[in-house]
Structure formats: structure tokens, C-alpha cells
Amino acid sequence: MFSRIPLARLIFGLLSLGSPSFAEDPSPTNLKRSGSQSVTGYQIEEPAKRTQIAPERFEIALLNSTVKIERWGTGSKGIIFFNHSGPMADMIRASMRDYDPLIEKGYSLFLWDYPSASPFDRVPAAIDSFVGGSTQTVDFSGIARGVVDGIRKKSALQSFLLVGDSLGGGIILWDYNSLKGTPDISFLLISPTEVFMPNVSSLQDLKRTVLVANENADVFLKNPENKNWIEKNKSPATATLSGKGHFILGQNLSHNEFIRLIQLATKQQTQ
């Protein structure tokens, strides 16, 4: 049997002694760039030389924190990434050439790293408790709405696709009902994690949303109500992915598959 901590590390890619945590700044300046490398279990490739200029950088206020935002591209439609617990933003930065087709189609990509303040500081302990049998969840109410409002104010964009993987998918769901009421916002939710999700009975019908998850193979889904909700609402695109279980970009979800899901979700913006 796996012990608690190894299970959380191996499957979820969260905790690794001596490695940067999700709350630390995994920016390119903090990582050596000498060929491909592994950071907390994730493979990050040496970025190819690109002609694109550096991203625009600005800050937004988020609850009791200040968050640094990077905007890649100048398109009139935004894609905001809500990371899993690993160095997801850094992996996207390092593979930005793969995301050029999205930028060329008029999208601006917004990357940010989670702050270390509450409620983000509760993530590692919450995962360990969940693996140990706890059913207590972490409340992220106001995070997704605050990020969208802050980016909208600074960028003047109105149309957004919110992309959340694992932890990020759960964060988006806390504000889903209010965000869904804005017709120019759509969603891509990949393996939202139970410990970071609101009660699904509070969620209204999904609109302009692509949900990708495995209700029966995901060890981070235990509640039958959550499994039934995913089975009812998941996209057929789930079956096209090569990985199984809990989908994590950089582990069992490739950049190519991730981008393909984003392209599918952008089509929901007109529905």
C-alpha cells in the first residue's frame, strides 16, 4: 500500500521534499534552463528560441494578496489559466511555442501563479487529509471572480475562457454560478478535485462548458454525488485522451491534448 504522502506525491504531484511548492514562484528566472528537466515530478522542456516579444506584465488585487499576471499575445479574447498544484504556469511558459496557434487566432493568454496566502496555504494539508479519509473541502469563493474582474479591468477585454486543471477546476467551480451568468465567459474544467470543489448540488446546469474527467478512475473523487455529477456532465472528449485517471498537465495530459481541449472549449463561447 502507498502511505499518505507518497500517494499524494505520485498521483497528484503535490508534495516533494526539497522541491518548490505550488505557492512558490516557479517563474523562468527561478529555474535553470539547461535542457529538459523535472520539477516536482513534471517534465519541463528547454523552450525553443522565439521571435515573440516578452509578455505584458501587470498586477491585480486578489482578496488579501497582490497577484502578478502575464499576458501573452494581444488578442481581443482572453484565456485565463487556473493551475493545478504543480508548476503548470511555468510549463506553459516553457512550451509557449505550442500555444502560438491560439495567439494567432486572436487570443491573449493570461498566466499567474497562486499566492501563498489563505486559502492557498491550506492546499497541501487538505490533500494529505483527503488521502487519509477526510471529506472536508477548502472554500475558494471569490478567487475566480476576483481574477476575472481584475484582468478585465487591466486588459479591457470582455470575452474569456477560464481553463482550470485539477485544483484550478475546483477553484473555478466555487464561482461558477455567478460567472456563468456572463454570456461572454466560457469554461474548460479538467479533473476538478473533490477536496477543492463546492457541493455540486449547488451548481446550476452547465453552459458554455467542457468538463473532462474520469468519474470511476480518478482517485481524487470519492463522493458518489460528485461522481454522478461528472458522469452526467462530462464531455465525450474525455474518451479521446491517452491518459487515464486524474488528468494533470505535464503528467498524463500532454500539451497537444491540452491545447486540443482548449480549442474545443473556445467553440462553446458562441453557444
Cell numbers representing residue 55 in the block? 509578455
Q: What is the pLDDT of residue 52?
A: 53
169 and 195 in contact (C-beta within 8 Å)?
A: no
C-alpha cell at 136: 472536508
Residue type, 40: T
Which one-letter amino acid corresponds to residue 141?
A: S
- Among 209, 218, 270, 269, smallest CA distance to 248 is for 218
Q: Which CATH class is domain 4-15+38-270?
A: alpha beta
Q: Can you tell me the distance from the alpha carbon of 10 to that of 30, in angstroms, rounded to the nearest whole number?
A: 23
- Which residues, 6 or more positions from 162, have their beta carbon under 8 angstroms from its beta carbon? 80, 82, 144, 148, 172, 179, 185, 186, 187, 188
Q: Look at residue 267 in the predicted model and tell me its pLDDT.
A: 87
Global pTM value: 0.83
Give the start-to-end residue ranges of the domains of the chain. Answer: 4-15+38-270
pLDDT above 70 covers what percent of the chain?
79
66-119 per-position pLDDT tens digit = 999 999 999 999 999 999 999 999 999 999 999 999 999 999 999 999 999 999
Q: How many CB atoms lie within 10 A of CB 111?
A: 21
Q: What are the helix and strand counts (H, E) for the chain?
A: 9, 9
Q: Do the Cβ atoms of 103 and 79 come closer than 8 Å?
A: no
CA dihedral 27, 30, 35, 40 (to 10 degrees): -80
Whether residue 136 is predicted with pLDDT greater than 70 in this model: the reply is: yes
